[in-house]
């Protein structure tokens, strides 16, 4: 499988961080004295960039948004970081892809330094040639990250694995294949079927998809 690159998203693809993202959003809204939505509303905000969600919640841009994002990240780092764990099957999947000769990288909207620290703590960062993440201003896009990942070598096939429409749009913008993680936050299996997307419902099915030439979704 030399010449194949797999680009992984992080939150909702590797890690089940939904409760801690919601807790951090609740914190910044509480500080501002603003109404705190239900978890159901927050569940629609698991995809996309932090700055986009801050604009939705606070109507803020620029420096004011940067300050709110800084407080979100401070709270998350101090209160939630150590609680985030991998989905079942992640370690086995990374090892299997390594054994297939697949090059693996990460592209996440999480702040790059935080992503590196998290993957180090979870003891999986050694599987990745590079880990690309967001910048404090939110100006680096997921498509930018994907292009940077592709520039790490010469690849005959590049597959972005992500759980959100924003991942799919970024993959298409960067001109790479997309595989939906239907076990994550934004792309349940029924939506993938309706939109004609390749998808897996278990991360352990990714090597089978990568090893095949078919475009049919692998569904258990």
Q: Whole-prediction pTM value?
A: 0.85
191 token code pair: 């939506």
Do 181 and 15 meet the contact criterion of CB atoms below 8 Å apart? no
Q: Specify the pLDDT at position 142.
A: 94
152 token code pair: 């790490």
Which tops the pLDDT comparison, 19 or 143? 143
Q: What is the pLDDT of residues 76-90, one digit of tens each?
A: 889 988 999 999 999
Q: Write the CA distances from 165 to 37, 121, 131, 139, 186, integer angstroms.
A: 22, 28, 21, 19, 7
207 token code pair: 């090597």
Task: Place 217 in a pLDDT band, splitting at 50, 70 and 90.
Answer: very low
Kindly report the CA angle at 217 between 170 and 181, in degrees rounded to 5?
A: 45
Q: What is the pLDDT of residues 151-203, one digit of tens each?
A: 999 999 999 999 999 999 999 999 999 999 999 999 999 999 999 999 999 99
DSSP letters of 61-105? Answer: -HHHHHHHHHHHHHHHHHHTGGG--BPTTHHHHHHHHHHTT-EEE
Q: What is the pLDDT of residues 20-62, one digit of tens each?
A: 888 998 999 888 888 888 888 887 777 777 888 888 888 888 8
End-to-end CA distance of the chain: 24
């Amino acid at each position: 499988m030399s010449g194949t690159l797999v680009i992984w998203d992080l939150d909702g693809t590797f890690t089940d961080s939904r409760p801690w993202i919601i807790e951090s959003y609740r914190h910044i809204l509480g500080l501002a004295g603003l109404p705190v939505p239900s978890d159901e509303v927050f569940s629609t905000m698991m995809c996309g960039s932090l700055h986009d969600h801050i604009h939705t919640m606070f109507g803020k841009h620029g420096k004011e948004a940067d300050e709110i994002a800084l407080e979100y990240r401070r709270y998350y780092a101090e209160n939630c970081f150590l609680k985030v764990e991998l989905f079942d099957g992640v370690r086995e999947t990374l090892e299997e892809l390594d054994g297939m000769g697949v090059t693996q990288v990460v592209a996440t909207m999480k702040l790059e330094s935080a992503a590196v620290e998290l993957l180090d703590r979870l003891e999986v960062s050694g599987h990745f040639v590079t880990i690309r993440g967001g910048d404090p201003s939110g100006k680096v896009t997921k498509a930018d990250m994907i292009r940077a990942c592709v520039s790490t070598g010469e690849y005959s096939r590049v597959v972005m694995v992500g759980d959100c429409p924003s991942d799919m749009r970024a993959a298409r913008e960067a001109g790479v294949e997309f595989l939906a993680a239907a076990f994550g936050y934004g792309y349940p299996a029924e939506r993938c079927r309706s939109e004609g997307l390749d998808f897996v419902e278990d991360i352990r099915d990714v090597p089978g998809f990568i090893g095949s030439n078919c475009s049919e979704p692998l569904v258990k």
